[in-house]
Every structure is written in structure tokens, then in C-alpha cells.
């Protein structure tokens, strides 16, 4: 970032009574809960973006990362049925499905000629599938595509696997690593606030448990991601508390790779009367995430949820990753997302170049390829 940009940010921060926040950002100091709330309450969106861009360029320069990936949702049958989720279904529902290992193998073989580097796998909490299903799933994919990295299951699923098998979380993680697990996506975090979890997902593991499982995975050498589902009934304070809890966890283990703010999509959920998030809220949330999570290497603008246009602007508001080409996404599309199912590499690179950034195709661990 140019010195003149930093001077401009300093000038306007002082004018807007955000001078202390500018000082902390410029001196690599951590922002407080009050700072996060103050930023959310500010109407000066370009200034917040400018501040986030200072941190973004300090950590990642002008690079924007993306990956050639494949999503597989093995089943939508779920015993939790969170109020914000349109994907999970009870076993009796006409839209409930569960892929066999052969179905998953076919999905992988169908795209064998594409240069896929990561397969992202998540599903509902299936009441009857045994642990062996999940180990077979990983082993089968690895036998077909040994070079592909598997980013699979969330802390919520690991807790479920431990309960159904009578094993500890460490045992579950070790068994799955031996079967082919390479990394863990960031889902299931929602908002850590017990008030929100009680209201929206009372069956789900607590925020504390989610953090504990992520830290256990880090100690076993796995890199994981983290998310925050925003834009439903949470307060600004609850969002910032969530971010600070993640920053504290990262301070302990340094195992988080990427943070992904997930904008709530209401359609077909039990809280469908809530409006979609605004572009301003999406950009502010990306930017404030970048500013609070100064110890997270990457912030992802997930174009599937944000739409390609906001994802493009987000690259100037703190985001340095756009996820991937995707192809088949169910969780957001069942909740009304209007984004396409996939982007080609050329489309992805155009989104990045047109935003004045440098496209860097990456592997699952953010190494350029
Ligand atoms: O865990 C559920 C959320 C998550 C809705 O780690 C919803 O790279 C919006 O975690 N509206 C799954 N969000 C997606 C996810 C993810 C996506 C992309 C990349 C990565 C990564 C992780 O989606 C769920 C839940 O928190 N979710 N329902 C909804 N109606």
C-alpha cells in the first residue's frame, strides 16, 4: 500500500474519531471489542475498507488466491435441523438423500480429467451411518485421486462421529487422518454466543466445544478454517465477540488458515422472514473480520454466498481469497442463493484482474501452483 493511502486513512480516521483504531492498525496492535463495535457503527464504509486494505496488503500484497475445487455433500439427512439451515432434512423427508460410497466414487471419477486440487466434503449429522462409512469415503476418494487434498467434515461432525462410535475426538481425528483427511473446513461455528445457539441451533455443540475441537485438530497438525454465519438475529457485539474468540484460539495454536464470513440466506429456512444481508453489511463484515483477525493469514470472500459482484469489491475490503471454481454447491443454493453453480478458471481470474489484483491459483494449503 502506498504511503499516501496510509496518510489519507490516518487523516480521515482522526476526522471520524477513529484515530486510536488507526494507530493500533498501523502499529500491529490488536483491536478490542469496543473498537470492533465502533467500526460497525461507523457509516464511513470506504474508510473501513481502506483500513482493512492496509492489513490485507501487509499480509498478502496484491494477490488474490483461488483454487480449482470440487464440493461433495454426502448426505443432507440431519438430526440437528438448525433453524437457519435449508439443507438439512429429517430421514423421512421426500428431499432427504444419502450418497453411497459408489455414488461418491462416481462423482470423483466423472471429473477425473479436471485439474482439481481439493475436494470439500460436508454433510448433515446422519443418525445411522457408522464411522466406517466416513473412513471408506476418504479412502475411496484417495484411491481414485491420490494427489487431491481432502478438506472434510466440521467440528460438529467430528463430535457426532465420536458420539456414535464411543471414541474420543483425538481418536476420531487420527482415524480420519489415517484414512486420508488432509484439512478441515470452517463450518458449524455459526455465532458462538450461547444466546444465539439456544435460539437457532439448540442441538448443536457449543461454541466452546467447536473451538476446543479445532484446537485439538491443530495440535495433531491439521490446518482448519473458521466461519461466522451473520445477518440473522445476532447483535454486532455478538459478531465481534465471535471474532475475538477466534483470534484468541489462533493465538494458542496458529492452526487456522482462513476465515470465511457467511452471509445468511433465509429462503426455505425456519427463519425465512429475515431479509438478506445488504452489500454494505457484507463489505463491513469482511473488512472488520480482516481488522480483528490480524493473526489469520487469509480472509475469504465466498462468492457463492456473496455473489460475484460483492466478492469482487471485497478484494479491496480485506479479502484475499475467493474460494474456488466449486461446480456443485447445495447448502447455499437450497437457501435461495442466486449465484452460479461454478466459475471457470478464466471467469475466476477475470473477477480478480478486473479488481486490480493478481490471481494466484493455490492448493489446499495456500501454496501457489
Ligand atoms: O456450517 C447453513 C452455513 C456452512 C446457511 O472452510 C448457511 O473453506 C448461509 O462452512 N445461509 C457451510 N449459510 C459452508 C462452509 C464453508 C463454505 C465455503 C468454504 C468453507 C471453507 C466453508 O454454511 C454451515 C453453516 O454455518 N449455513 N445454512 C444459510 N441458510
Q: Which atom of ligand 1 is nearest to the CA of 188?
A: 1
Between strands 183-184 and 69-73, the pairing is: unpaired
Atom of ligand 1 nearest to the CA of 85: 28
Q: What is the pLDDT of residues 50-82, one digit of tens each?
A: 999 999 999 999 999 999 999 999 999 999 999
Which sequence spans correspond to the domains of the chain? 3-56, 62-361
Protein residue with its CA nearest to atom 6 in ligand 1: 185
Answer yes or no: is pLDDT of 205 > 80. Answer: yes
Residue nearest to atom 18 of ligand 1 (CA): 302
Query: Is 339 close to ligand 1, i.e. is its CB under 6 Å away?
Result: no
Whether the CB of 320 sits within 6 Å of ligand 1: no
- Pocket lining: 185 vs ligand 1, CB cutoff 6 Å: yes
**Alpha-carbon gap, residue 302 to 296, rounded angstroms:** 16
Give residue 187 CA to ligand 1 midpoint distance, Å. 5
In this predicted model, what pLDDT tens digit does every residue of 272-298 receive, in sequence order?
Answer: 999 999 999 999 999 999 999 999 999
Confidence of residue 2 (pLDDT cuts 50, 70, 90): confident
- Of the chain, the percentage scoring pLDDT greater than 70 comes to 100
User: For atom 15 of ligand 1, which residue has the closest CA?
Assistant: 187
What are 36-47's pLDDT values in tens digits? 999 999 999 999
pLDDT in tens, 222-253: 999 999 999 999 999 999 999 999 999 999 99
Residue 360 is inside which H or E element, if any? strand 358-361
User: Cα(77)–Cα(269) distance, rounded to whole angstroms?
Assistant: 15
Question: Looking at per-residue confidence, does 338 or 100 come out higher?
Answer: 100
- On the question of pLDDT at 351 being above 90, the answer is yes
| CATH homologous superfamily of 62-361 | Aldolase class I (3.20.20.70)
Q: What is the reported pLDDT for 49? A: 97
Rounded CA separation 179/128 (Å):
20
User: Does 326 sit in the ligand 1 pocket, CB within 6 Å?
Assistant: no
Identify the pLDDT of residue 35. 97
The helix-helix angle for 207-219 and 169-179 (nearest 10°) equals 50
The whole-number average pLDDT for the span 113-140 is 97
Q: Which residue lies with its CA nearest to atom 1 of ligand 1?
A: 187
> Is 340 a residue whose pLDDT tops 90?
no
277-300 core/surface letters (b: 16 or more CB in 10 A; e: else): bebebbbbbbbbbbbbbbebbbbb
Distance 261 CA to ligand 1 centre (A): 9
Angle at 300 between CA 159 and CA 185, to 5 degrees: 20
Q: How far apart are CA 301 and CA 319, in angstroms?
A: 6
CA of 72 to the centre of ligand 1 (A): 13
- DSSP label at residue 366: S
The residue nearest atom 8 of ligand 1, judged by CA position, is 185
pLDDT at residue number 329: 86
Is residue 136 very low, low, confident or very high in pLDDT (cuts 50, 70, 90)? very high
Atom of ligand 1 nearest to the CA of 185: 6
The answer on pLDDT for 332 being more than 90 is no
Question: Grid coordinates in use for 358?
Answer: 493478481
* 106 Cα: distance to centroid of ligand 1 (angstroms): 24
Structure confidence at residue 191 as a pLDDT band (50, 70, 90) = very high
Cα–Cα dist 217/152, whole Å = 12
Q: Please check the confidence at residue 333 and state whether its pLDDT lies above 80.
A: yes
Q: Is 187 in the pocket of ligand 1 (CB under 6 A)?
A: yes
Above pLDDT 90, what percent of the chain?
A: 91
Q: Is the CB of 186 under 6 A from ligand 1?
A: yes
Confidence band of 328 (pLDDT split at 50, 70, 90):
confident
Q: Is 364 near ligand 1, meaning CB less than 6 Å away?
A: no
Q: Is 126 in the pocket of ligand 1 (CB under 6 A)?
A: no
Average pLDDT over the chain, rounded to whole?
96
Residues 89-120 have pLDDT tens digits of 999 999 999 999 999 999 999 999 999 999 99
pLDDT at 208: 98
Give yes or no for residue 331 CB within 6 A of ligand 1. yes
Cell of 18: 477513529
Q: Distance between CA atoms of 314 and 298, rounded to whole angstroms?
A: 13
**What's residue 331's pLDDT?**
87
In the reported structure, the alpha carbon of residue 188 is separated from the centroid of ligand 1 by a whole-number distance in angstroms of 7
Whole-number Å distance, alpha carbon 331 to ligand 1 midpoint, is: 7
pLDDT at 241: 98
For ligand 1, whether the C-beta of 335 sits within 6 Å is yes
Q: Ligand 1: which of 157, 188, 227, 327 to mutate, most ligand atoms within 8 Å of CB?
A: 227
CA of 122 to the centre of ligand 1 (A): 10
Amino acid at each position: 500500500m502506498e504511503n499516501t493511502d496510509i496518510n489519507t486513512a490516518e487523516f480521515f480516521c482522526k476526522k471520524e474519531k477513529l484515530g486510536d483504531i488507526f494507530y493500533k492498525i498501523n502499529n500491529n496492535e490488536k483491536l478490542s471489542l469496543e473498537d470492533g463495535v465502533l467500526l460497525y457503527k461507523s457509516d464511513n464504509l470506504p474508510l473501513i475498507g481502506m483500513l482493512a486494505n492496509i492489513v490485507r496488503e501487509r499480509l498478502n500484497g496484491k494477490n488474490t488466491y483461488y483454487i480449482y475445487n470440487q464440493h461433495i455433500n454426502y448426505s443432507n439427512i440431519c438430526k440437528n435441523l438448525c433453524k437457519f439451515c435449508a439443507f438439512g432434512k429429517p430421514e423421512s423427508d421426500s428431499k432427504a438423500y444419502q450418497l453411497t460410497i459408489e455414488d461418491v466414487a462416481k462423482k470423483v471419477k466423472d471429473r477425473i480429467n479436471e485439474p482439481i486440487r481439493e475436494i470439500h466434503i460436508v454433510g448433515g449429522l446422519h443418525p445411522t451411518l457408522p464411522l466406517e462409512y466416513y473412513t471408506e469415503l476418504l479412502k475411496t476418494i484417495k484411491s481414485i485421486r491420490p494427489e487431491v487434498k481432502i478438506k472434510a467434515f466440521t467440528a460438529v461432525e467430528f463430535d457426532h462421529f465420536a458420539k456414535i462410535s464411543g471414541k474420543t475426538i483425538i481418536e476420531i481425528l487420527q482415524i480420519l487422518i489415517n484414512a486420508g483427511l488432509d484439512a478441515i473446513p470452517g463450518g458449524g461455528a455459526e455465532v458462538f454466543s450461547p444466546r444465539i445457539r439456544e435460539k437457532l441451533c439448540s442441538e448443536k455443540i457449543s461454541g466452546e466445544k467447536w473451538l476446543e475441537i479445532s484446537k485439538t485438530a491443530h495440535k495433531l497438525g491439521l490446518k482448519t478454517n473458521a466461519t461466522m454465519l451473520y445477518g440473522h438475529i445476532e447483535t454486532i457485539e455478538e459478531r465481534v465477540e465471535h471474532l475475538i474468540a477466534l483470534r484468541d484460539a489462533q493465538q494458542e495454536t496458529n492452526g487456522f488458515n482462513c476465515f470465511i464470513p457467511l452471509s445468511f440466506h433465509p429462503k426455505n429456512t425456519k427463519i425465512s422472514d429475515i431479509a438478506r444481508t445488504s452489500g454494505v453489511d457484507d463489505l463491513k463484515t469482511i473488512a472488520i473480520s480482516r481488522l480483528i483477525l490480524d493473526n489469520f493469514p487469509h480472509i475469504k470472500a465466498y462468492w457463492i454466498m456473496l455473489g460475484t459482484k460483492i466478492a469482487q469489491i471485497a478484494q479491496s475490503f480485506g479479502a484475499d481469497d475467493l474460494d474456488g471454481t466449486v461446480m456443485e454447491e447445495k447448502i447455499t443454493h437450497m437457501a435461495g442463493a442466486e449465484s452460479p453453480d461454478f466459475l471457470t478458471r478464466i471467469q475466476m481470474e477475470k473477477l480478480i484482474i478486473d479488481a486490480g489484483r493478481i490471481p494466484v491459483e493455490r492448493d489446499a494449503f495456500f501454496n501457489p501452483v
